[in-house]
Amino acid sequence: MKQNLLHIAYRQKEQLGFRTRLIERDCMAQAREALLSDNRVLIVTGMRRVGKSTLVRQLLNTVETFCYFNFEDEKLLDFSVEQFGELEEVLIEVYGASKYYFFDEIQNIPQFEVAIRRLQDGGKKIVLTGSNSSMLSMEFGDRLTGRYKQIELFPFSFAEYLRFQDVVVQPKDFHLAEPRVLLKNQCQQWLESGGLPEYLHFNDPDYVRTLFDNILYRDILTRYGIKRHREFRELIQLLATNLALPVTFSSLQKSIGLSNSETVKQYMGYLANSYMFFELYQYHPSIKKQLNSSRKVYLNDVAFHNLVGFTISQNSGRKLENAVYLHLRRHSAGLFSFQGKGECDFVAFDHQRRPAAIQVCHELHPGNEKREMDGLLEAMQAIHLEQGTIVTLDQERLLTRGSHQVSVIPVWKWLLMAVPDNLSL
């Protein structure tokens, strides 16, 4: 095994020298600080091909010495945690002694947390990446309680997409006609194409199909031993088609012909673990009511909706809502939908537990303004807010209802202005 590990490590070291265009990610400053000023294990999780390895390469440039190993290699199928000692010797031989250890896709190794705890106890700074959220399992949490920091990585945000397109944004651009049109057009393209880095680079629909199949078969069907492939694919198609619409386990079970809703619950858990879909619970003071209520489902990237969702319309409003969800998930400490007499798309809490109420509407017009406003105001009253937000495709104005104020704002502007400590603007 040691010779095999040496071959892999030297090959990977050589590949690290290949120069590719690296886009600065929104979380880069946070990741650098966690690497250099925090003794905890840094864990970067996210769906396949969203840029975790690229982020690690950027982090490598911030330290003088390091050891790196990527476990996503077919020659490592028989590697076990007991062989970590050999791997350490190999990495020291290839890279030299170092305080910093970087491990890519480590969730492929059962009980990897045992070796990570030992390395950390030995004074090493560890950076891990993984494509499965269950790598933060209860067992891992027990072994490293309070000793790890997680950063979730997503496909390109709108700000990252603009950097990819070499578009530099300045505050004055929000007020000038030509830059506003440019930002609006760029946002429209991003809403339609999504933010998968390599798909944007190659513009090849087959890339999305291949990525989808890899996640489906390698990260879900094989990992969890799912036998009912047809029903699982039907579930994915149903969820992608009903993007941002409320669903229940029982309704999904009946639609795809499974015998019980518990199987659907398990399947949706697998999809969430792979970062393909996300569930959004309703806001309730009671946790039991949250779990028993219908929930909305969102996709990690709209490219999957375009690939597997069955629809005869453009679904522009739901794609817009999906983009707002992903932005809020990046920046909020708690995120829910709201259901009362009316509906509000999002109730979000920042990291100081300050609330925000956000409605999403492709276009606000006399036919829908009362419905959208009533749902938003009901949510605002429930969480004791005087100000709320309606995110639209390209409208901007201020609405007043009694003591309540609602900012109507274009999505391209909101995405570039809304930050963790001011979710509602």
Output the domain CATH number for residue 367. 3.40.1350
pLDDT of residue 311: 62
- Condensed to tens digits (0 to 9), the pLDDT of residues 234-253 reads 999 999 999 999 999 999 99
Residue in 160, 136, 182 with CA at minimum distance from that of residue 41: 136
Q: Are residues 140 and 261 in the same domain?
A: no
| 352 in the same domain as 269 | no
User: Is the confidence at residue 206, as pLDDT, over 50?
Assistant: yes
The answer to whether residues 24 and 136 belong to one domain is yes
Residues 114-125 have pLDDT tens digits of 999 999 999 999
For residues 379-400, give the mean pLDDT. Answer: 97
In a domain, 109, yes or no: yes
Among 124, 152, 180, the domain boundary falls at: 152
DSSP string, 22-43: -PPPTTHHHHHHHHHH--SEEE
Interval 27-84: pLDDT, tens:
999 999 999 999 999 999 999 999 999 999 999 999 999 999 999 888 898 899 999 9
Owning domain of residue 43: 2-152
> Is 125 part of any domain?
yes
Same domain flag for 355 and 300: no
DSSP state of 24: P
- Of 291, 308, 325, which one is at a domain's C-terminal end? 308
Beta-bridge partner residues of 407: 389, 398
Q: What is the pLDDT of residues 276-302, one digit of tens each?
A: 999 999 998 888 888 889 999 999 999
Query: Given pLDDT bands bounded at 50, 70 and 90, which one contains residue 218?
Result: confident
Is residue 292 located within the same domain as residue 332? no
Does 199 reside within a domain?
A: no
CA-wise closest residue to 295 among 333, 263, 269: 269
342 and 389: one domain? yes
Note whether 61 and 129 are same-domain residues: yes
Q: Are residues 22 and 118 in the same domain?
A: yes
Bridge partners, residue 388, by sequence = 406
pTM of the model: 0.93
DSSP letter at 143 equals: H
Position 346 in a domain? yes
pLDDT score for 420: 43
Asked if 122 and 15 sit in the same domain, the reply is yes
State how many domains the chain has. Answer: 3
Contact 208, 196 (CB under 8 A): yes
CATH number, residue 144: 3.40.50.300
Does residue 139 share a domain with residue 79?
yes
Query: Has residue 421 got a pLDDT over 50?
Result: no
Q: Among 5-9, 82-86, 109-113, 120-124, which is the least confidently predicted range?
A: 109-113
Tell me, yes or no, whether 112 and 219 share the same domain: no
- Residue 425 pLDDT class (50, 70, 90 cuts): very low
